[in-house]
Structure 1
């Protein structure tokens, strides 16, 4: 139309996550975010400051990719440094073999990545699904150990990520679902004569969930620990992390290094704040 003049159109202002009516809008994460958390998954929860979710996800992708190469010799997307699958073999200088290999590579489904971010509809938290060979607990521990050993100059670098919480196994957030996850995750650490006499504590973290009470969670997990062990909130041998978000639950078991590594809080490792006294309700 005659009255339309593209030059007069103004670019939309940056409303910092809010629309004109003041209602909150969804913050767009990088393209790889998607999917959902399902029973049987393993992964890593992460937290960040308000409004930093996208930058924190990007930072974690870089960090996780770096550690996939460092620990397993594989890129985070599941390929080797040469761009092929980890199982690919060299075919020498045979041109026909190279052409055949290239055609098969086109037909072959994309290699499953070792980790993938999942869109979370809650501020300040994010979740990364992981798959073998990543062991979420060992993976996070190595990241935090290296952060602790970093130079003062490296520690001064800006960081968006706060706490990392590894989840060995996820399940449905019901009593039966929690019991099943607890049995699978706790057995290698507490069952059998070689694991007798462990001192342990349970630390639940519940978000956006009202079905199970804290007492129910603790009772269910403690029952899965079994006989022959004792509760010690300060000098535990093993700490059981229980994380419940909406309709999903997850459990992992960490060692006494958890406190030394600032409870896997990278921001505390890089820039410690005055020590706070733990709340009595934090662990059982």
Structure 2
């Protein structure tokens, strides 16, 4: 009788312990899905189909790697050699003070294994970072890659070949600068992104703004647009339909991605899906209509949508 009572008491205690430590498991899962983007990074802002974020990231990285190999021939090999040189120096320092030959061999072997692991990390030109937001993906790139140059190169080629290379990915926007989602930081970042347009010797041209805001408390379109447009408006003319240059501002959570793109409307808002729609319809002799909603058909836009509306708009 006493034995059964003890077993029951032990079972109850075990259940209490499980309930007590359950919240810790939730914290661990939350930490694994932490927001990973921070100001100062370079990369690519990507929209995609809901629940296909990782697949979109994989196919986008494949696309970026394909064109990076053409635009930057030999870069990956150079980066690998740089990593090997750095690691070899570190390994030499570890082995110079070893007096025992056998111990030195073991230390050298361990050092080479560690160096190999570090080298594999350094070799990655592109890396997927979690945004914790449905339909939004961010790809971080190596410091020696120019996101703006690479995206322009990709769309120049795709416009000529009209060959679809992705299935789940929508807009591909270069992150020329990343700031916090505060209005002052965004204005400063926009000036840095558009510094060539603000230069004294810059030729007058046309510009527009694309402003999308997601999950940013206190950040409003009516504050962002006039503040960013003011310095550009002194030399250039606003053209909402066929501007030569478009400053893209994608603010979400605590950060803001900024990019400068050319022929934004003609290239279908740099959308890897709708880019191919218009030529296909034109070949069939059909009337071509914009596929995006009326609220986002103009360059000056804002996405203040609620979380449940984000999926329908993100891939556009």
Alpha-carbon contact 1:34-1:118 (below 8 Å) kept:
no
Other-structure match for 2:289: 275
Tell me, yes or no, if structure 1 residue 47 matches structure 2 residue 54: no
Assess, with a 3 A threshold, how the Cα gap between structure 1 residues 121 and 244 changes in structure 2: closer, same or farther: same
The alpha-carbon deviation at position 196 of structure 1 amounts to: 3.9
Tell me, yes or no, if structure 1 residue 125 matches structure 2 residue 141: no
Unaligned runs of 5+ in 1: 1-24, 90-98
Match of 2:150 among 139, 143, 161: 139
Other-structure match for 1:183: 191
Question: Aligned runs of 1:226-241 on 2, under 5 Å?
Answer: 227-241=234-248
Alpha-carbon contact 2:61-2:139 (below 8 Å) kept:
no
* TM-score, normalised with respect to structure 2: 0.64
Question: Aligned runs of 1:23-34 on 2, under 5 Å?
Answer: none
SS at match of 1:80: helix
Assess, with a 3 A threshold, how the Cα gap between structure 1 residues 87 and 52 changes in structure 2: closer, same or farther: closer
Question: Aligned runs of 1:84-163 on 2, under 5 Å?
Answer: 84-85=80-81, 106=113, 108=115, 109-110=118-119, 111=122, 113-150=124-161, 154-155=163-164, 159-163=167-171
More helix by percentage: 2
Tell me, yes or no, if structure 1 residue 204 matches structure 2 residue 205: no
The alpha-carbon deviation at position 186 of structure 1 amounts to: 1.5
Residues 116-151 of structure 1 show CA distances to partners (whole Å, capped at 9, x for unaligned) of: 111121211101112333221221122222223336
Distance in 1 (CA, whole Å) between partners of 2:271 and 2:265 is 10
Other-structure match for 2:271: 265
Other-structure match for 2:72: 72
The alpha-carbon deviation at position 74 of structure 1 amounts to: 4.4
Alpha-carbon contact 1:178-1:220 (below 8 Å) kept:
no
SS at match of 2:81: coil
Alpha-carbon contact 1:204-1:218 (below 8 Å) kept:
yes
Residues 7-29 of structure 1 show CA distances to partners (whole Å, capped at 9, x for unaligned) of: xxxxxxxxxxxxxxxxxx9xx9x
Distance in 1 (CA, whole Å) between partners of 2:234 and 2:251 is 25
* TM-score, normalised with respect to structure 1: 0.71
Tell me, yes or no, if structure 1 residue 246 matches structure 2 residue 253: yes
Other-structure match for 1:223: 230
Distance in 2 (CA, whole Å) between partners of 1:84 and 1:239 is 36
Unaligned runs of 5+ in 2: 1-25, 86-104, 282-287, 301-316
Assess, with a 3 A threshold, how the Cα gap between structure 1 residues 250 and 229 changes in structure 2: closer, same or farther: same
The runs of 4+ residues in structure 1 deviating greater than 3 Å are 86-89, 101-109, 270-274, 277-284
How many equivalent residue pairs?
Answer: 236
Assess, with a 3 A threshold, how the Cα gap between structure 1 residues 122 and 74 changes in structure 2: closer, same or farther: farther
Other-structure match for 1:37: 37
The alpha-carbon deviation at position 59 of structure 1 amounts to: 0.9
